[in-house]
Chain A
Amino acid sequence: MAPGIKDKVAIIGMGCTRFGERWDMGPEDLMVDAFKEALEDAKIEKKDIQAAWQGGPEFVAVSLGDSACPLAETLKLPYIPVTRVENMCASGSEAFRAACYAVAAGACDIAMALGVEKLKDTGYGGLPEFSHYSTIGTKNRIIGANQTAPGMFAMLATRYFMRYGISPQDGKKMLAAVSAKSHHNGALNPKAHLRREVTIEQIVNAPIVAWPLGLFDCCGVSDGSAAAIVCRADMAKQFRSDPVYVKSLQIAATSGAEQMYTDYDYTHVETTTRASERAYAEAGIKNPRDEISMSEVHDCFSITEAVTMEDLQFSPRGKVMDDIMSGRFNLDGAQPCQPDGGLKCFGHPIGASGIRMIYEMYKQLQGKADKRQLKNPKYGLTHNLGGIPYRSVVSIIIVGH
């Protein structure tokens, strides 16, 4: 087996804008804000960055569209290699992975990944209609069901409830607990979009978006940007005393079997399972339930977070309800999930989310998470899911001391 990325790359600076309906800010402004914070945090200058990767935007193109020019032009990067990467909702993590690989390969010493998305320029509540963008594919537009993200994830819940004999009422309560927990955390985070506590009762009684998912089962729709500066691990201490080290970078893309082959059970996400198994092996983690201190997972919908807990081996198959209801994933629980409020409260500016997740793990590991600070976290895991349960790309990133 290849030796992997563990401890070869360190994060020395990060930036993250306030996420939300940033009506007053264009994507360029958001990029500059994230970049500025990351530079200041790393205490380096722009000329020190030798290569950069841009994640997103998926929907509203900036300047020269689907290229690296938006990042290079906006930040006036001095003719360094810049590349735009695209892997649906996992694009931010993909940009981070590319920057880390460049450093680990010795192609450069310091690299940057920046993700950005300006969803509130699309005119939609929820993600824009896929068929208006290249995201769905020309054939899919004709033969794919007319469906939206909440509906495609709702089908996980339909099948999950049925498979494990959970009544729709109990199932909705379980999902409501997922969202209520994240709202609690988001309320503590000045960078979050949605900063209000919400009760289980409010969540359960909210209007249905795609049965059985209601309004509060869905993440927010936001603008935002986040950036990470990475360098060779052996250099990291030159820049700061508390760098955060990359322990694992894994992605898994669907083989097509979940969509077209009848083995897939619709109660889990295969790519999460596969990517996390490899990530644990790369990071040397034997027992994820005990060893992973905290996680930021892709809670685009409450059901996604619930099944992800099982895919990541945090909860046994079919048993996540027990862990959710007992508060295992709460801020004061044994294995906090979404300490920053998650996609639920940050919303999901597609290209930015993956790096925003790492931002929270980075701050927690440095002890700088303020009211949300967890006690002595060792390993933080981010899970960034691109696509839909049966056609997905999943990134798992593990960071630690």
Chain B
Amino acid sequence: MVGITSYGAYIPLQRINRKIIFNATGWSASATSLPGEKAVANYDEDSVTMAVAASIDCLTDIDRNKVGGLYFATTTPPYRERQSAGIIATALDLRPDVRAADFTDTVKAGTQALLAACDAVKAGSEKNIVVCASDCRLGRPGSAQEVIFGEGGAALMVGDTDVIATLEGSYTLTYDFSDQWRADGEKFNRIWEDRWVRDEGYTKFIPEAINGLLKKYKLTIKDFAKVIIPCVYLREHQGIAKALQLDEKQVQKEMLTTVGDTGTANSLMMLVAALEDAKPGDKILVTSYGNGSDAMFFQVTEHIEKARNRRGIKKHLASRKDLANYERYSSFRDVIPMEAGFRGEVGPTRLTLAWRERKVILALCGARCKHCGTPQYPYQRVCVNPKCGKIDEMEPYRFSDKKAKLFSYTADSLAYSVSPPEMYGVLDFEGGGRYAFNITDCEMNSLAVDMLMEMSFRRKYVDNVRGIHGYFWKAVPPRA
């Protein structure tokens, strides 16, 4: 039996109400009437960091040494050449002999990565592949995409033991339907006429994929407890369901009005939401959209009960903060390029050092003294405990999954930040170890000495002169 063995998700903390976007840009184009809000990645988040966060959620209670592969789906990788899955695998502190791959260039890549993982496990090539998907697509100010696109990530582990939802079948359509595109080097998505995209794209391909799957496996739509339809048009979302004669309770709730269209992650996030409510025996039909469509058919098992302690979609949705300022939102992705000043300039990154210290930097690994037991970050060869001081008695020790108490802190208006003031503090980790980190996803006045923090993988800096994204860990208040 091959299928999903664990799930996780990530939705960034901040949400912008679409009325705020409309108030800022509506004078230019009465873009869309899509209601609700969308999730906005913070300035220090991107597809890679959100995929790490979703994967950490997915790996709750799972020994990371058992992970055999990491597939990452995105249309917004930070690098044109440098594997994002490799960055994610390193940040997760996975073994180096994992099979890592990026799936990209279409928002259908999320389900394609999931299918590929299922096939690899079924073929016996790998066990325990984490499939993560995340996107940070940009619409030009005043465009419909700016309103529709949201940001978030999902992660699913695929394996053949203790499966919580077995893959029972799939059906794939590939069409070079060029409704939405972004050429090499472009920042914003382009789209052909809305009505054509809606009528010839979404409302045809998704039903065609579903009907293809039903026919292939001699099923009827009534067999499914939940059907996932990732349509970005609210009315057509209902229209497709109606045309397929789905009951209301069979339709997985859309996430457009709460999160937005998260690209490659869209279908997988809805799948995670469906799994959160699923009962053993439920059949779930997942479809994706993008240059065609994938349909996948899962059956939920009794093991689902073991995977309930995830933040998933529900807890991340409930943990939210309003972003009330369109200009601030636009500055996060440099859509409005703000003055950074001298302090915003970035010095060179020594890539030799970044490689040598990859466990320290990307995996937040330090050392623990085998003699006195003191955890210490970064990795030390000479024990920092003044009463010990042993040399070369260390074992690796991972801090990224440890909670910490905020020992002291400040909010600094002098330090450069895209979203000032820059906050930082000294963390004392549970189990020992201390280090000073930047703090993100909160306000200065919510901080207090001794409050609980956890670690979050973030983009610390972008060196635009040399084309380098610097990733590291920051402290955040726990989301749930």
Which A residues form the contact surface with B (CB < 8 A)? 123-126, 128-129, 131-132, 138-139, 141-148, 150-152, 154-156, 158-159, 162, 207-213, 255-257, 259-264, 266, 390
Contact = CB atoms under 8 A, between A and B. Distances in A.
Nearest to B444: A211
12 contacts: A128-B342, A139-B357, A146-B461, A155-B425, A209-B414, A210-B412, A211-B410, A257-B384, A261-B374, A261-B434, A266-B408, A390-B436
Contact of B412 (A148, A159, A162): A148
A138 B353 contact: yes
Contacts of A126: 414
A139 B385 CA distance: 22
A212 B432 CA distance: 28
Given A146-B415, A150-B414, A266-B407, 9 more contacts: A139-B378, A147-B412, A151-B424, A155-B408, A155-B410, A159-B408, A208-B413, A256-B384, A260-B433
A211 B357 contact: no
A207 B411 CA distance: 13
B417 interface: yes
B181 interface: no
Contacts of A210: 410-415, 421
B438 A145 contact: yes
B177 interface: no
Interface centre among B374, B412, B461 (most CB of A within 10 A): B412
Nearest to B448: A162
A280 to B, nearest CB: 22
A260 B435 contact: yes
Interface stretch (B65-73, B92-100, B142-150, B344-352): B344-352
Nearest to A123: B342
A313 B77 CA distance: 57
Contacts of A143: 357, 360-361, 378, 472
B426 interface: yes
Main secondary structure of the interface of B (DSSP, over half): mixed
B415 A148 contact: yes
Interface string B397-433: 0000000000111111111110001101110100011
A260 B376 contact: yes
Contacts of B318: none
Contacts of B470: 142
Task: Give me the 5 closest cross-chain CB pairs, A-B, nearest first.
Answer: A151-B412, A154-B410, A145-B424, A159-B408, A155-B408
B350 A138 contact: yes
Contacts of B426: 155, 266, 390
Contacts of B434: 259-262, 264
A260 B353 CA distance: 21
B343 interface: yes
Contacts of B385: 257, 261
B354 interface: yes
Contacts of A150: 412, 414
Contacts of A262: 428, 432-434
B233 interface: no
A141 to B, nearest CB: 6
B353 A139 contact: yes
B389 to A, nearest CB: 9
A158 B384 contact: no
A60 to B, nearest CB: 13
B422 A259 contact: no
Contact of B407 (A124, A138, A159): A159
A86 B2 CA distance: 63
Nearest to B349: A142
B376 to A, nearest CB: 5
B386 interface: yes
B377 interface: yes
B449 interface: yes
B474 to A, nearest CB: 8
B57 to A, nearest CB: 24
Contacts of B342: 123-124, 128-129, 132
B410 A159 contact: no
Nearest to B435: A260
A261 B343 contact: no
B343 to A, nearest CB: 5
Contacts of A131: 346-347
A105 B83 CA distance: 60
